[in-house]
Amino acid sequence: MKAPAKAPAVGPVEAGLLGQLAPAVTATVRWLPGGGALRVLEGGQGPTVVLLHGRGGAASTWFVYLTALARGHRVLAVDLPGFGMSSAPEGPLATAEDGVRFFTGPVEELLLQLAPGPAAVVGHSLGGLVAVELALRGRVPVERLALVDAMGLGPEMQRKARLFFRAGPERLARSLGPWAWSRLMPPSPTPLGERMGALGYELLAVPGGRDAATRAFNTLVPVAGPLFHRRERLGEVKVPVLLVWGEKEDTLPLSLAEEAARRLPQARLMRVDAGHSPHQEHPERVLPELKAFLDERSSVSGMPE
């Protein structure tokens, strides 16, 4: 894994959020044994919880969750390879398996270094696919999974979402500018929603784009045909799983979550009146459920309905 020649700078919106998180949660760059580095937001003590963001995001998109979870857990929010302040791994990007390796391998290396004991992994969208991969690989001892509108559970994705990703969110954000982007991707109509919307734009509009991460993502999401998925292997995931899904989801259909809930041995589906990012749109609903799930040590049959 090779660090980029010019690492992107932290933008003013993200810098303000990171300043609010400090000193409870701090940002560090962790160099990996195989080369390259991942940025991690770390805080708290207790059982380890790993937070993995979606395509085009960064660890800071978990802003609302970091200090709340750090009160009873050791929280590690990671910039996925090629996004945020993390570097991109080297290697071919010809197949979907190459794409999975690109995003999962460095995160696995990091967790083997930082969190060799049991960990709960929470993943949104692309981060959800990485979370499922970590559980299936078995090198990192994953004891719980929370999957928020996660990729990797089945082959379907709405066509307009495929076209949006293929057009390139980074290129679109830079071309449109913040005003037009906010009309295309309106944030939640709250002060927090406005800040998170501004963060999302800032992360996408970074000069130079995210070429390697975009190529890796495109191997997983073709313009036509099935997405990369692990549907047939979900029965191998024996740990408790909380599925959180937006009922107004326009990227990954709710039917994916319903089918996954039937295939996963210990799973519960939480539906939220939201789109593709229910954890950001309605943190007041998702955060209490997530905290309760992470704090459980009993079987999934004891989870609240």
Residue 35: predicted pLDDT: 82
CA–centroid distance for 42 within its chain: 16
Tokens of 128: 């959800």
pLDDT at residue 184 is higher than 50? yes
Beta strands 267-272; 241-246: pairing state = parallel
Please tell me the predicted confidence (pLDDT) of residue 207. 79
Structurally, at CATH architecture level, domain 29-296 sits in 3-Layer(aba) Sandwich (3.40)
Q: What is the pLDDT of residue 190?
A: 87
pLDDT at 4 over 50: no
**Bigger pLDDT: 189 or 66?**
66
Question: Residue 305 above 80 pLDDT?
Answer: no
pLDDT value, residue 1: 45
Percent of the chain scored above 70 by pLDDT?
Answer: 94
What percent helix, strand, coil does the chain show, rounded to 5?
45, 15, 35
CA–CA dist 145, 128 (Å, integer):
9
* 121, 134 Cβ separation under 8 angstroms: yes
pLDDT of 6 higher than 70: no
Task: Give the mean model confidence (pLDDT) for residues 20-49.
Answer: 94
How far is 161 from 157, CA to CA, in rounded Å? Answer: 7
Q: How far is CA 293 from CA 21, 88, 231, 284, 288, in A?
A: 23, 32, 23, 15, 9
Task: Report the pLDDT value the prediction gives residue 152, as an integer from 0 to 100.
Answer: 97
What average pLDDT score do residues 210-236 get? 95
Whether the pLDDT of residue 33 is over 90: the answer is no
Lowest mean pLDDT among 114-123, 145-154, 239-248, 253-262: 114-123
* pTM of the predicted model over 0.85: yes
- Which percentage of the chain shows pLDDT scores above 90? 84
Cβ(30)–Cβ(113) below 8 Å:
yes
Q: What is the distance, to the nearest Å, from the Cα of residue 96 to the centroid of all Cα atoms in its chain?
A: 18
pLDDT of res. 295 = 93
List the structure tokens of 37.
Answer: 């580095």
Instruction: Say if CB 104 and CB 200 are below 8 A apart.
Output: no
